[in-house]
Amino acid sequence: MGRIPVIEVGPIVEGGRWPTKAVAGEVIPVRATVFREGHDAVAATAVLVGPDGTDHSHVRMVDVSPGNDRYEAWVQPDAVGNWSFRVEGWSDPYGTWSHDAVLKVHADVDTELMLDEGALVLERAAAAPAMTAAHRQVLGDAVLGLRDVARPPVARLAAGISPEVRAVLAEVPLRDAVSPSAAYPLTVHRPRALYGSWYEFFPRSEGAHQDPNTGEWISGTLRTAAERLPGIAEMGFDVVYLTPIHPIGTTNRKGRNNTLGTEPGDPGSPYGIGAADGGHDAIHADLGTFDDFDAFVARARALGLEVALDLALQASPDHPWVTEHPEWFTTRADGTIAYAENPPKKYQDIYPLNFDNDPAGIYTAIRDVLGVWIDHGVTLFRVDNPHTKPLPFWERILADVAADHPDVIFLSEAFTRPAMMRTLATVGFHQSYTYFTWRHTKDELAEYFTEVAGDSAAVMRPSFWPTTHDILTPYMQQGGAAAFAIRAVLAATGSPTWGIYSGYELAEHVARPGAEEQIDNEKYEYKPRDWERAREQYGLTALLTALNRIRRDHPALQQLRNIRIHPTSDDATLCYSKRVRAEHSPTGREDVVIVVVNLDPFTTRDSLLHLDLAALGLDGQDAFAAHDELSGETYSWGANPFVRLDPWGRPAHIIHVRPA
| 271 appears as a binding residue in the annotation | no
Quick one: three-class SS letters along 237-258? CCEEEECCCCCECCCCCCCHHH
Establish whether 442 is an annotated binding residue. no
C-beta separation of 498 from 464 below 8 A: yes
Contact between residue 464 and residue 436 where contact means Cβ atoms under 8 Å apart: yes
Q: How far apart are CA 309 and CA 244, in angstroms?
A: 7
- Pairing between β-strand 184-189 and β-strand 81-91 as defined by DSSP bridges: antiparallel
Interhelix angle 133-146/163-171, rounded to 10 degrees, is: 140
DSSP three-state, residue 354: coil
Q: What H or E segment, with its residue span, contains residue 138?
A: helix 133-146
For 426, counting Cβ atoms within 10 Å of its Cβ (0-12 exposed, 13-18 middle, 19+ buried), the class is buried
Alpha-helical segments (H) within 340-466: 359-375, 391-404, 418-426, 442-452
Cβ contact 490:225 at 8 Å: no
CA separation for the pair 629, 116 (Å, rounded): 58
Q: Rounded to whole angstroms, how far apart are CA atoms 541 and 531? A: 9
- What is the β-pairing status of strands 497-501 and 196-201? parallel
CB count within 10 Å of CB 429 equals 26
Strands 380-384 and 409-413: parallel
Kindly name the residue from 88, 206, 292, 384 that is annotated as catalytic. 384
Q: Is residue 142 a contact partner of residue 168, using CB atoms and an 8 Å limit?
A: no
Tell me if 314 is assigned to a ligand binding site: yes
User: SS3 of 48, please?
Assistant: strand
CA 282/CA 495 separation, integer angstroms: 34
Distance CA 43, CA 544 (A): 47
384 in catalytic set: yes
Q: How far is CA 423 from the centre of its chain?
A: 16
- Write down the catalytic residue from 26, 238, 413, 570: 413
443 a catalytic residue: no
Return contacts of 441-450, CB within 8 angstroms, 24+ apart.
Answer: 441/571, 441/599, 442/568, 442/571, 442/572, 442/573, 442/574, 442/599, 445/490, 445/494, 445/574, 445/599, 446/565, 446/574, 446/576, 449/494, 449/563, 449/565, 449/576, 450/563, 450/565
Give the span between the Cα atoms of 628 and 647, in whole angstroms.
16
- Burial of residue 221, with CB atoms counted within 10 A of its CB: 0-12 exposed, 13-18 middle, 19 or more buried: buried
Q: Say if residue 448 carries a ligand binding annotation.
A: no
Amino acid identity, position 461: R
Cite the active site residues.
384, 413
Q: Which residues are annotated as a binding site?
A: 254, 314, 349, 385, 523-524
Q: Which residues are annotated as a binding site for alpha-maltose 1-phosphate?
A: 254, 314, 349, 385, 523-524
